[in-house]
């Protein structure tokens, strides 16, 4: 509630000041106020409509899309409040003169409708910023009702203060007011940075930086006043993640320093380029150190061999697009794979499979009807009539084994086999051969589940560490490098401005007579008088 109250109060008062300055100017010049109020009303209606439309769109989206939209709205709100803080810091002192100059230009067109457009655009800007910022704050708030009430109170108070300033009944140190509320909004916007990063993670946009840092539940128990202040107002959760803490610090430190830096400590025009280039160099150096010093991490490793359930081992060996799997201790076999496909198995990146079909030579060549019934589940198989085909039958056995292996690089993550035995019987009164899947005791094999779980967990942990390393090895250096480039460009601009401002002085030194240098006049002998020069002097007089 406190956050939305301050937002509504500050943004509303800023809009009220703009409207009040324009209204006072119109009143002094005897111009009607009706067009201005029409522009203000239209801007307010449009701002409220924007907020409701965004809320309606979000409510109709699925959960993941809602999180994505909340992240986008939060990012826009952070940009809005930051630009508002920067603009007010730079233009608060001259805002009245600037608005009156623009109003005079608009009134100079001969119509007050230009002023109506000016008021409309000014209030629309503040109203749109307020709508987006409040919507983002509502989404991050634990109580939407309390947040809405705070916004209403803040806007109402802004209107009352604005009327009092316009009529002269209220005296307010606006410079101090905007300075104090600006500092508060820095922390509110930093909380929005945290909620935006969390929404981006829940939307599937972020997959790194999610390691827990500290547990703040002891500092802000649920339902306590501290929780309302820390979580509800400042947006700091009880379980901040690494990327959230980093984002909070990267926002608060520079914006708060800009807001509180004393004017007397600001560098002069000649020292500004050097300071900017030095700052850019430091940021670039830090980015380079992070890229070089932070380890890249790995996608994990898997051993070449794995124990089998029930005894034995499976050993994997890959060479390009082909691989070999050697199984010992369990019907020792060697299987070859020709080609693989991407795997969705946990921890593996490739999937291999092959099928081996063999005719069994160690099985009985003849089966009675009772033996066949026992092999097919205890009943006489469908399709055999004992009265016409009493047996015995000639038996032809086929065993088909399907072997699957899942690998990571040259290591084995998991492997298993499935066995299917089919007996084809003929004779014994059958008019044609019949084939049946039988249970003949052939057992499949597989890697121990405990080994698979341990290898998969180790690979998952290595991959998570590699993703976390990207935050400090790629994304943070990229952000610092971007900031360094922007600061360097600002330094180039400041140096050009300094050169342009010093150009007239250089020209004066190069041509002292034209600049009226008395020393140069005293040392330069005067030319002899001539009629033309005397006539020129007289004409000048």
**Among the three residues 415, 447, 479, which one is the final residue of a domain in this structure?**
447
**Which segment of 319-323, 382-386, 397-401, 495-499 scores lowest on mean pLDDT?**
382-386
- Same-domain check for residues 257 and 274: no
- Same-domain check for residues 173 and 212: yes
- Same-domain check for residues 203 and 239: yes
In a domain, residue 512? The reply is yes
- Tokens for 230? 């820390």
Burial of 510 (0-12, 13-18, 19+ CB in 10 A): exposed
Give the distance from CA 509 to its chain's centroid.
55
Burial of 92 (0-12, 13-18, 19+ CB in 10 A): middle
**Among the three residues 236, 262, 288, which one is the final residue of a domain in this structure?**
262
466 or 105: whose pLDDT is higher? Answer: 466
- Same-domain check for residues 369 and 315: yes
In a domain, residue 454? The reply is no
- Same-domain check for residues 352 and 388: yes
Give the pLDDT score at 405.
93
- Same-domain check for residues 139 and 256: yes
- Same-domain check for residues 285 and 255: no
Per the structure, the complete domain to which residue 22 belongs is given by: 2-262
Provide the domain count of the chain: 3
- Same-domain check for residues 154 and 176: yes
Give the pLDDT score at 525.
44
H-only helix segments in 141-172: 144-167
In a domain, residue 455? The reply is no
Say whether pLDDT at 536 is over 70: no
Give the pLDDT score at 538.
32
- Same-domain check for residues 388 and 410: yes
In a domain, residue 452? The reply is no
> What's the average model confidence in pLDDT over 295-307?
85
Which residues lie across from 131 on neighbouring strands?
none
Residue 481 confidence class, pLDDT cut points 50, 70, 90 = very high
Q: Distance (Å, rounded) from C-alpha 7 to C-alpha 132?
A: 11
**Which segment of 69-73, 107-111, 479-483 scores lowest on mean pLDDT?**
107-111
> What's the average model confidence in pLDDT over 210-219?
82
In a domain, residue 515? The reply is yes
Q: pTM of this prediction?
A: 0.64
Neighbouring residues of 114: CB distance < 8 A, sequence distance ≥ 6: 106, 107
Give the pLDDT score at 143.
65
- Same-domain check for residues 273 and 323: no
Q: How far apart are the first and last CA of the chain?
A: 76
**Among the three residues 418, 447, 476, which one is the final residue of a domain in this structure?**
447
- Same-domain check for residues 187 and 54: yes
pLDDT tens by residue, 339-395:
889 988 888 889 999 998 888 777 888 888 888 888 887 788 887 888 888 888 999
Residue 305 confidence class, pLDDT cut points 50, 70, 90 = very high
Q: Distance (Å, rounded) from C-alpha 131 to C-alpha 133?
A: 6
Query: CA distances (Å), 91 to each of 8, 113, 127, 310, 453, in order?
Result: 20, 26, 19, 79, 62
> What's the average model confidence in pLDDT over 194-222?
83
- Tokens for 16? 């009220």
The DSSP line for 59-84 is HTS-HHHHHHHHHHHHHHHHHHHHHH
In a domain, residue 337? The reply is yes
- Tokens for 411? 């290591």
In a domain, residue 461? The reply is no
Q: Distance (Å, rounded) from C-alpha 531 to C-alpha 473?
A: 82
- Same-domain check for residues 184 and 51: yes
- Tokens for 355? 């099928």
- Tokens for 354? 């092959």
């Amino acid at each position: 509630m406190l956050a939305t109250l301050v937002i509504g109060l500050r943004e509303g008062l800023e809009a009220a000041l703009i409207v009040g300055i324009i209204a006072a100017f119109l009143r002094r010049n005897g111009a009607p106020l009706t067009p201005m109020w029409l522009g203000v009303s239209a801007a307010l209606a449009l701002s409220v409509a924007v907020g409701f439309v965004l809320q309606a769109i979000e409510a109709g989206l699925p959960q993941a899309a809602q999180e994505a939209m909340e992240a986008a709205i939060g990012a826009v709100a952070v940009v809005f409040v930051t630009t508002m803080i920067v603009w007010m810091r730079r233009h608060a002192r001259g805002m009245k003169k600037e608005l009156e100059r623009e109003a005079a230009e608009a009134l100079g067109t001969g119509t007050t409708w230009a002023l109506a457009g000016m008021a409309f655009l000014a209030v629309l800007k503040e109203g749109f910023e307020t709508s987006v910022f409040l919507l983002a704050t509502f989404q991050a708030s634990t109580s939407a009702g309390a947040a809405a009430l705070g916004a209403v109170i803040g806007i109402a108070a802004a209107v009352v203060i604005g009327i009092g300033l316009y009529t002269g009944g209220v005296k307010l140190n606006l410079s101090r007011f905007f300075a104090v509320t600006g500092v508060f909004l820095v922390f509110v916007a930093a909380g929005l940075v945290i909620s935006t990063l969390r929404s981006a993670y829940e939307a599937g946009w972020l997959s790194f930086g999610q390691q827990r840092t500290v547990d703040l539940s002891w500092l802000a128990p649920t339902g306590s006043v501290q929780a309302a202040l820390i979580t509800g107002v400042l947006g700091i959760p009880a379980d901040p993640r690494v990327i959230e803490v980093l984002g909070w610090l990267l926002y608060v430190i520079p914006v708060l320093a800009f807001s509180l830096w004393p004017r007397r400590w600001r560098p002069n025009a000649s020292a500004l380029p050097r300071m900017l280039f030095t700052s850019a160099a430091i940021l670039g150096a830090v980015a380079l150190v992070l890229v070089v010093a932070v380890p890249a991490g790995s996608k994990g490793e898997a051993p070449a061999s794995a124990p089998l359930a029930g005894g034995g081992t499976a050993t994997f060996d890959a060479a390009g697009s082909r691989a070999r799997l050697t199984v010992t201790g369990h019907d020792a076999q060697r299987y070859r794979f020709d080609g693989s496909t991407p795997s969705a198995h946990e921890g593996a990146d490739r999937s291999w499979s092959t099928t081996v079909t063999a005719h069994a030579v160690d099985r009985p060549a003849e089966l009675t009807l009772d033996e066949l019934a026992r092999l097919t589940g205890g009943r006489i198989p469908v399709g055999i009539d004992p009265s016409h085909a009493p047996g015995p039958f000639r038996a032809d056995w086929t065993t088909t084994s399907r072997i699957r292996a899942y690998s990571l690089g040259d290591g084995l993550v998991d492997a298993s086999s499935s066995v299917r035995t089919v007996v084809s019987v003929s004779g014994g009164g059958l008019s044609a051969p019949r084939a049946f899947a039988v249970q003949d005791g052939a057992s499949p094999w597989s890697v121990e589940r405990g080994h698979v779980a341990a290898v998969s967990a180790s690979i998952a942990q290595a991959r998570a560490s590699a993703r976390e390393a990207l935050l400090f090895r790629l994304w943070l250096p990229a952000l610092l490098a971007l900031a360094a480039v922007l600061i360097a460009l600002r330094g180039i601009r400041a140096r050009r401005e300094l050169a342009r401002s010093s150009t007239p002085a250089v020209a004066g030194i190069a041509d002292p007579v034209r600049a009226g240098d008395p020393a140069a006049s005293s040392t330069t002998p005067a030319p002899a008088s001539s009629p033309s020069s005397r006539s020129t002097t007289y004409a000048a007089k």
